[in-house]
Amino acid sequence: RMLKRQMLCRLDIDWLNAAFLAIYESLVPLEEETAKQKQFFMLLEKLVSKEWPEARLYLYGSCANSFGVSKSDIDVCLAIEDAEINKSEVLLKLADILQSDNFQNVQALTRARVPIVKLMEPVSGISCDICLNNVLAVVNTKLLRDYAQIDVRLRQLAFIVKHWAKSRGVNATYQGTLSSYAYVLMCIHFLQQRRPAILPCLQEMGTTYSIIVDDIQCAYFDQVEKLHGFGSRNKETIAQLVWAFFNYWAYRHDYANAVISVRTGSILSKREKDWTRRIGNDRHLICIEDPFEISHDLGRVVDKFSIKVLREEFERAADIMQYDPNPCVTLFEPY
Ligand code: CTP
Ligand code: MG
């Protein structure tokens, strides 16, 4: 109890909170950067519509979900409805078009798990990945963006968690750690669970937005402008939330049995999801349910080695928040 009191005193100190807010502000992209991305996207749209007049182009990922820090790459999805298309052919054709329009470093990665065309825009230096028909990602991008509009503390917390994850080398799915998308879902779930709650569960509310993508019904309440002030009964500051977030993942999460679920705004059991044993490469050592593709565990990339790395990093972060005199520096020290 004494520790807890010490901690609360410390986190009450305004400077700590101000320091976290300053880090957040420094990560937010400038308006001119966002404007450049828009321009770049419009140029792509023009080129694409010449070749595929029926196709649509969407921004997704961090440049569209409001969790993008300055200088992020941009993620674009080319949606072509024709079921007959050959994905590799379309991507090769697209690469051709972009190449002849003076884009640099154009590469078609047709054999990747998610086939994409990669390119760089020479003037602004913007890098971009274009995938094909990944409409579910466009829809979950909208869900994240809608959540971000309800309470600014989500965006603040997620920026700090993403910044921490990148600094500490635990934001690489190819190394068995978690994607940025997974970290944002962890933040949303965490804020749904605070008492009083800081975020509602949009998928449990009356449907105002509904779309069927790849046979999956995606439905939720998207009139988020009506939810401003939802979390205002909860007065927790960003410093307190960062402390509590890491404390949860270091010491309170039940790794053996629990699945976090933004879809239901609650914790489910591994047993009810049938995520209790390893199937193929899915080990379910940390379980994060995708809000729409509910058979998809975003923790499935984590293996028995990287779960240790992850949990040690959560503990390190929690301990720094508890005891370090200058957590805003130590937390983000390169690994
Ligand atoms: N995505 C997904 N399922 C995953 C991983 C990603 O649907 N398992 C989609 C999400 O729409 C996500 C987008 O791909 O927003 C980009 O994922 P990611 O690179 O993890 O997140 P970003 O928000 O782009 O983060 P960063 O700033 O690190 O690029
Ligand atoms: Mg991205």
Q: What is the pLDDT of residue 7?
A: 63
Encode pLDDT of 260-275 as tens digits. 999 999 999 999 999 9
Q: What is the pLDDT of residue 4?
A: 64
Ligand 1, atom nearest to 296 Cα: 8
- Residue identified by tokens 């995606």 is 218
User: Is the shortest distance between the CB of 60 and ligand 1 below 6 Å?
Assistant: yes
- Taking 70 as the threshold, does the pLDDT of residue 6 lie above it? no
Q: Where are the domains of the chain?
A: 31-137, 143-330
Q: Pick from 181, 184, 281 the residue to mutate for probing ligand 1's pocket: most ligand atoms within 8 Å of its CB.
A: 181
Encode pLDDT of 85-139 as tens digits. 899 999 999 999 999 988 889 999 999 989 999 998 877 788 999 999 999 999 9
What's the burial of 140, exposed, middle or buried (CB within 10 Å: 0-12/13-18/19+)? buried
Percent with pLDDT over 90 in the chain:
88
| Other residues' Cβ atoms within 10 Å of the Cβ of residue 46 | 11
Q: What is the pLDDT of residue 124?
A: 79
- Mean pLDDT over residues 140-158, rounded? 98
Residue 221 zone, left/alpha/beta (φ > 0; ψ -120 to 50; rest): beta
Q: Alpha carbon 327 to chain centroid distance? A: 24
- Taking 80 as the threshold, does the pLDDT of residue 239 lie above it? yes
| pTM of the complete model | 0.96
User: Are residues 171 and 91 in contact, defined by beta-carbon separation less than 8 angstroms?
Assistant: no
Of 141 and 126, the structure prediction assigns the larger pLDDT to 141
- Taking 90 as the threshold, does the pLDDT of residue 11 lie above it? no
Nearest Cα residue to 59 out of 77, 46, 71, 38: 77
Distance CA 253, CA 160 (A): 20
User: Are residues 154 and 209 in contact, defined by beta-carbon separation less than 8 angstroms?
Assistant: no
Q: What is the pLDDT of residue 2?
A: 60
User: Is the shortest distance between the CB of 67 and ligand 1 below 6 Å?
Assistant: yes
**What top-level class would CATH report for the domain 143-330?**
mainly alpha
Q: What is the pLDDT of residue 280?
A: 87
Encode pLDDT of 12-70 as tens digits. 678 999 999 999 999 999 999 999 999 999 999 999 999 999 999 999 999 999 999 99
The tally of CA atoms less than 13 A away on the side-chain side of residue 39 is: 10
Nearest Cα residue to 91 out of 49, 130, 45, 135: 130
Distance CA 155, CA 136 (A): 22
Q: Which long-range contacts (CB under 8 A, 24 or more apart) does 168-177 make?
A: 168/313, 168/316, 168/317, 168/332, 168/334, 168/335, 169/335, 170/309, 170/310, 170/313, 173/301, 175/306, 176/301, 176/302, 176/303, 176/305, 176/306, 176/307, 176/309, 177/301, 177/302, 177/306, 177/309, 177/310
Distance CA 66, CA 62 (A): 6
CA of 29 to the centre of ligand 1 (A): 18
CB neighbours of 162 closer than 8 A, spacing ≥ 6?
A: 67, 69, 171, 180, 183, 184
- Taking 70 as the threshold, does the pLDDT of residue 1 lie above it? no
Q: What is the ipTM of this complex?
A: 0.98
User: Is the shortest distance between the CB of 68 and ligand 1 below 6 Å?
Assistant: yes
Distance CA 57, CA 77 (A): 6
User: Is the shortest distance between the CB of 240 and ligand 1 below 6 Å?
Assistant: no
Distance CA 220, CA 203 (A): 4
Minimal-distance CA residue to ligand 1 atom 1 = 137
Distance CA 308, CA 326 (A): 26
Query: What average pLDDT does the structure give for the chain?
Result: 95
> What is 31-137's CATH topology?
Beta Polymerase; domain 2 (3.30.460)
CA of 260 to the centre of ligand 1 (A): 18
